[in-house]
Amino acid sequence: MSVDGFPGGVVVPFAGMRKDMTKTIVEEVRAYWEALRAGRPVPLRSEVDPRGIEGALDCSFILERVAPQVVRFRVAGGHLNDLMGMEVRGMPLTAMLSPASRAEMGAVIAAVFDGPAVAEVSLMAETGPGRPALGARLLILPMRSDRGGIDRALGCMPTTGPIGLAPRRFTLVDVRRTDIVAGQPTPPLSLATPGFAEPMAGFLRPERGRAHLRLVKSDD
């Protein structure tokens, strides 16, 4: 059985794992990706099935790497469209960031795919009239495409606070990176709650040894 945007995916059972998981969106997506990779460096993009992350779909996405520091959305949940006030499919991830943070995000993107590595980013939205305080956590998990390269990523971006007037663009507050080692689980990342993260002291510092959704069909 296939689901639009995720043909031929694999459903990973979590009956024995959910009792040990907190019920946050970031942890659900992270645990699903970890189960899919099953000791390999990264899972295949074709293995992803949205039924494995039902509680996180609205905030989830799949990215495609199109340049060393550039990724674009291939599939995105409705929450990301709401944040931008438009369909984000085909847009670069950096379109959701303030200009001052785009170079830093480019370095994060390069680290994720070249490592490979897992990245979790704390973000704060720019504020102003009609745009109240809004925090976010961005998780990026690398995957291998059918072409053989590590050029896809599964991720999510849940937010805390009202969206207000779209588009909302974000500034990087903190980043944690975990280098991936084949045959070993990646340990949990430890960022603060969105809106309360520490400054960028941890930028790209490796951590070692931690819904309703209308999916838009992509062509990969």
What secondary structure letter does DSSP report for 94?
G
SS3 107: helix
Reported as type and span, the H/E element at residue 123 is strand 117-125
* C-beta of residue 135 within 8 angstroms of C-beta of residue 127: no
The CATH topology of domain 58-206 is Beta-Lactamase (3.30.450)
Q: How does pLDDT run across 131-176, given as a tens digit for each residue? A: 999 999 999 999 999 889 999 999 999 999 899 999 999 999 999 9
Q: How does pLDDT run across 38-81, given as a tens digit for each residue? A: 989 999 999 999 999 998 999 999 999 999 999 999 999 999 99
* CA contacts within 13 A on the Cβ side of 60: 31
Question: For residue 60, how far is the Cα from the chain centroid?
Answer: 7
* C-beta of residue 157 within 8 angstroms of C-beta of residue 137: yes
Sketch the domain layout of the chain as residue ranges.
58-206
Q: Which of 220, 89, 209, 81 is nearest to 157 (CA)?
A: 81
Q: How does pLDDT run across 126-135, given as a tens digit for each residue? A: 999 999 999 9
List Cα–Cα distances, 40 to 4, 34, 208, in angstroms.
Answer: 26, 9, 17
* C-beta of residue 88 within 8 angstroms of C-beta of residue 77: no
* Location of structure tokens 């069909």: 217
Percent of the chain past pLDDT 90, that is, above it, reads 67
- The pTM assigned to this predicted structure is 0.78
Q: How does pLDDT run across 93-103, given as a tens digit for each residue? A: 999 999 999 99
Give the CA radius of gyration of the chain: 16
